[in-house]
Chain A
Amino acid sequence: MKNILMIGWRTLTKPSGYYSLGVLVIGGFIAGIIFWGGFNTALEVTNTEKFCISCHEMENNVYEELKTTIHFSNRSGVRATCPDCHVPHNWTDKIARKMKASKEVWGAIFGTINTREKFLVHRKRLAQNEWERLKANDSLECRNCHNFDYMDFTEQSERASYQHSTALASGEKTCIDCHKGIAHQLPDMKGVEGW
């Protein structure tokens, strides 16, 4: 075993005696494209609604709830799918989120929320995770589509334009502070600020 490892190590550290430098450089470049492209393609596959609801935990709970909301069906025909709100669009943030999501794979394997009852028990904790994340990044995923600078207050209802032009404009509040439960049902909100 140790010998095999040593042979491998010696091969890697020695200069190539057989392949030309050109083959190694160009071959390495092409292999790099394939690996990097493959990695990103695989990453994008995990960033689709279809992938998310391939687990019944997601399909039977949160996806069913999303279906009744305005982010699923609306007058303009724009739909926000799972990753639009739950995965950062920026690459480094996305990778960080994906690494954290490995815990969700653990949950899926060991069935942490594999029944509706278990899901409801964990719902508040799960919701709080998302609220905290959105609070920390100033509701970045909301703002990927809803741009404050492009808001027309005159088109909003009186209450909405008042809140948006004061609390939101001053940065005192961010989207998620008021707009909780817009895409899924709420947990028990006892003790949550503003309820």
Chain B
Amino acid sequence: MKNLNLAAIASLLVLAVSPIMYSLNANAADKETVNSVATLRDATPIDVQKEPNIIPKVINKDIKQGRNYPMQPPVIPHTTRSYEVNKNNNKCMSCHSRHRTEKSQAPMVSVTHYMDRDGNFLAEVSPRRYFCNQCHVTQLDAEPLVENTFVDMHTLMKQKTTSAKEH
């Protein structure tokens, strides 16, 4: 009977302690992964002010950049410093709207921007699409901080067909 009691206590103890041990392990693992991720601070000790990185320049070549996937909003290939997009004005539209593209030779905003969420066409750019920078952004002349392993659909399909041919 005594042995049984001891066994019960021991098993309870194990049950109680194991989650703590587990969480401790998990914390340790988290810390390692956190430290291995490249941050803007570059593992500078917390009590030291890091020398700030050089601010990269905005790419201003006016050459269209490819899209990584079909539905990606195209990126802006020019600077947009002090372009006002607010209640009064939308500077982007002074080149990219339908009646300005002939003069500016800029790509016209697509018709989807004139649709409300029910698919009805409006006379002006839909309010939900008004703020260009919510989707379209300028690009910086900088190396990515974290490697991007994204593979797009077409590459995947190509891989699939080549591997199918091999078999």
Contacts and interface: CB of A to CB of B under 8 A. Distances in A.
Contacts of A126: none
B88 A159 contact: no
A189 B90 CA distance: 9
Interface string B52-92: 00000000111000000000000000110110100011000
Given A189-B89, A194-B94, A195-B94, A157 B60 contact: yes
Nearest to A68: B82
A187 B89 CA distance: 8
Interface in A153-168: 157-159
Nearest to A157: B60
Nearest to A188: B88
B62 A157 contact: yes
Determine chain A's interface SS by DSSP, over half rule: loop
Interface stretch (A11-19, A92-100, A143-151, A178-186): A178-186
A110 B109 CA distance: 46
Nearest to A167: B103
A72 B78 CA distance: 22
B43 to A, nearest CB: 32
Interface of B: 60-62, 78-79, 81-82, 84, 88-89, 94
7 contacts: A69-B82, A157-B61, A157-B62, A158-B62, A186-B89, A188-B89, A195-B94
